[in-house]
Amino acid sequence: MSTRTPLMAGNWKMNLNHLEAIAHVQKLAFALNDKDYDHVEVAVLPPFTDLRSVQTLVDGDKLKIKYGAQDISAHESGAYTGEISGSMLAKLKCTYVAVGHSERRQYHGESDELCNTKVKAAFQHGLTPILCVGEGLDVRKAGEQVPHTLAQLAGGLKDVPAEQAETIVIAYEPVWAIGTGEVATPEDAQEVCGAIRGRLAELYSKELADKVRIQYGGSVKASNVAAIMAQPDVDGALVGGAALDADEFVKIVRFRDQ
Ligand SMILES: O=C(CO)COP(=O)(O)O
């Protein structure tokens, strides 16, 4: 029996301004009750411009919802126009930061090397990286999803010490299943999430691998979350579109009831 607490995280992507963010988090806070948090952790990853508003709400009302950013600069500070540093995110009491989301890799050319620097920057500031990995459709069609994803995993974790790596969250997000309505089957998700855990055991130790939470992401909704969560190596979901609907996201958090 796994002792890993599932992490249900909403990646809002470039949606919801800071006023909408407040309304959305208030809806989540109103709908979720203490019991919901007994067996699951809930987090939102809003745009940078929303973080201060979300922090004020979470702090002020002592909410159990955690929050984080969708990206982090590889740099510390200085002349890096448009970048947001780890220390800025830590100052806003972010818990999580997504690193290497496929949309960053695809549209902003982020390499495994850059993701590795960002993972280290996150740890340096006490943030927990959610390292996103996963294959595109061409790789899936060639049957190369496991080696492809494991190479991204190893690249992102290069030279990351065990005491940090054991706290990381890995999000397996097959690119062909993101925003397409095309959800991977629970068996597809398990195949790669299981392989990720196996590689973590090789890179570090079995004990460490057993502690790391591995999320699945890609068209997760209330109607498919339970089957995905039933897989032994899936420890949560990174939810895009469905996280923008508070009622739907609450149902995802309550995956045991679905
Ligand atoms: O990219 C995702 C989460 O990071 C998944 O997005 P969708 O849930 O919209 O497919």
58-96, pLDDT tens digit by residue?
Answer: 999 999 999 999 999 999 999 999 999 999 999 999 999
- What residues act catalytically? 101, 173
Q: pLDDT-derived band of residue 3, with 50, 70 and 90 as boundaries? A: confident
Any ligand 1 atom below 6 A from CB of 173? yes
Fold for 7-257, please state it: TIM Barrel (3.20.20)
**Position of tokens 């280290």?**
120
* Predicted complex ipTM: 0.99
Residue 127 has pLDDT above 70, yes or no: yes
Terminal Cα-to-Cα distance of the chain (whole angstroms): 21
Any ligand 1 atom below 6 A from CB of 240? yes
Give percent above pLDDT 70 in the chain: 99
Q: Where are the beta strands (DSSP E) in 148-198?
A: 169-172
Render 240-254 in DSSP notation, one character per residue.
SGGGGSHHHHHHHHT
Q: pLDDT-derived band of residue 2, with 50, 70 and 90 as boundaries? A: low
Q: pLDDT tens, 35-46?
A: 999 999 999 999
pTM of the model: 0.97
Which atom of ligand 1 lies nearest, measured to the CA of 171?
4
Which atom of ligand 1 lies nearest, measured to the CA of 103?
1
Any ligand 1 atom below 6 A from CB of 218? yes
Q: Which of 36, 39, 88, 98 is nearest to 67 (CA)?
A: 98
Mean predicted lDDT score pLDDT of the chain? 97
Ligand 1 center to 181 CA (angstroms): 10
